Amino acid sequence: MAIENPGQPVYSDIELDAREGAIVESFFAEHQTAIPDPADWIGAPPLPDNILLTTVDKVINWSRHYSLWPVTFGLACCAIEMMCTAASRFDIARFGMEVFRASPRQADLMIIAGTLTWKMAPWLKRIYDQMPEPKWVLAMGACGTSGGIFKGSYSVVPGFNKVVPIDVYVPGCPPRPEALLQAIMEIHNKIEKMSPTRKASGV
Amino acid sequence: MKDLGFIEIAIRIRERFGDGIAAADDKRLIIEPPRLAEIAAFLRDDPELNLDYLSSVTAIDHKTDFTLIYRLYSLSQNHRLTMRVPVADRVSPAVPSVTPIWRGADLQEREVFDLFGIEFSGHPNLKRLFLWEGFPGYPLRKDWVSRGP
């Protein structure tokens, strides 16, 4: 049986381009102000003196921070340092996070490594939204904090906090793997201070 | 690799295509845009010149006008040539495309179109390359003002 010619595609190339352009332009218009860094975990009131809850919290936090799986998100030169961190010399596997997931649904941490352009930003936001809670975001490099050397450019997002809330910023252009490891350990510290049972019970 | 003499090439082009279409001194070869596609085909097909490889197409904004720069190589004759094409009209600049002659000009002409807004008439697929549809203006022009924060 002959395969039927599908004929004209539903959308022409230029229609797809125009649709993409409309998405990017509306995203640009909506994301001009910085999203504040999540800080509600700092100075949270102490838990009710409940030995069960505090113990469960500790266990959950311990298990979370020793298997923090990052989603693959290398955008530019910082990604090379991120790969180097994952390779044998610096060995991110010591922290139980050598599994860079290709799917956001299996990841807890997003290491945004590199220069983010407005054309890419809607899809970064989509991948962030697809990650299950709890999730953490690590902005790697000067582009992540402010746009870096591309600040003021026509196409580069000046700081990732315009798009997603950022937990830890790593300065450097690009940062050394030691700096990335330090930032990952800061995320570990942050996880240890969270109280997942409080969140679940809504106290 | 030998550089072709600009003045000799200009003389050859003038002999074939008429006066006023090419000018040269010892530093540059300037070709007027109206018959650019024919001249490009001549440069490629002439057995002595045989400039069969287009290395790059780029543009300069002089604030009042543009200049396109084409860098040509001949892989068989082992020589090269750089030619300039002035584009005087700033409101709706247009030049003939050389993509039918050198296929490699495709993406480079799209890049110039994207960032400078120079239209290449005869290009088979002239649309934005790096930026998205609906981006306002042409960012590598000197009078472009950045938007956003």
pLDDT tens-digit series, residues A8-53: 556 677 888 888 899 999 999 999 888 888 876 665 655 555 667 6
CB pairs under 8 A between A and B: 41
Chain B residues with CB-CB distance to A18 below 8 A: 133-134
Q: Is the pLDDT of residue B46 over 70?
A: yes
DSSP 8-class letter at A105 = G
Distance from C-alpha of B139 to C-alpha of B149, rounded to nearest angstrom:
16
Residue corresponding to tokens 């934005």? B128
Paired strand residues for B95:
B120
Distance from CA of A134 to the nearest CA of B (A): 31
User: Would you give the distance in Å from CA A63 to the centre of its chain?
Assistant: 20
From the list A25, A155, A158, the residue facing B149 with the nearest CB is A158
Chain A residues with CB-CB distance to B134 below 8 A: 18, 21-22, 24-25
Q: Which residue numbers of A have CB closer than 8 Å to B's CBs?
A: 13-14, 17-18, 20-22, 24-25, 28, 32, 118-119, 152-155, 158
Is B47 at the interface with chain A, CB within 8 A? no
From the list B132, B146, B149, the residue facing A24 with the nearest CB is B132
Distance from C-alpha of A144 to C-alpha of A156, rounded to nearest angstrom:
10
* Entry pTM: 0.82
- What is residue A162's three-state secondary structure? helix
Q: How far is CA A66 from CA A100, A195, A198, B50, in A?
A: 14, 16, 21, 65
Q: Is the pLDDT of residue A54 over 50?
A: yes
pLDDT tens digits for B97-116? 999 999 989 999 999 999 99
Nearest to B72, CA basis, from B59, B86, B57: B57
pLDDT confidence of residue A203? 46
Residue A84, marked binder: no
From the list B127, B132, B139, the residue facing A119 with the nearest CB is B132
- Greater pLDDT, A53 or A176: A176
Give contacts of B 102-131 with A, CB under 8 A: 127-128, 130-131
pLDDT confidence of residue A189? 86
Q: Write the CB contacts of A83 (distance below 8 Å, at least 6 apart in sequence).
A: A74
From the list A21, A152, A153, the residue facing B132 with the nearest CB is A21
Distance from C-alpha of A138 to C-alpha of A125, rounded to nearest angstrom:
14
* Residue in chain A lying closest to B141 (CA): A154
Would you tell me how many other CB atoms lie within 10 Å of the CB of residue B140?
15
Is B149 at the interface with chain A, CB within 8 A? yes
Give contacts of B 64-103 with A, CB under 8 A: none
Q: How confident is the model at residue B69 (pLDDT cuts 50, 70, 90)?
A: very high
Q: Write the CB contacts of B110 (distance below 8 Å, at least 6 apart in sequence).
A: B123, B125, B126, B127, B128, B129
pLDDT confidence of residue A10? 60
Q: Is the pLDDT of residue B56 over 90?
A: yes
pLDDT tens digits for A78-136? 999 999 999 999 988 888 888 888 899 999 899 999 999 999 999 999 999 999 988 89
Chain A contact probe: residue of B129, B130, B132 with most A CBs at under 10 A: B132
* Residue in chain B lying closest to A33 (CA): B149
Q: How confident is the model at residue A2 (pLDDT cuts 50, 70, 90)?
A: low
Q: Is the pLDDT of residue A5 over 70?
A: no
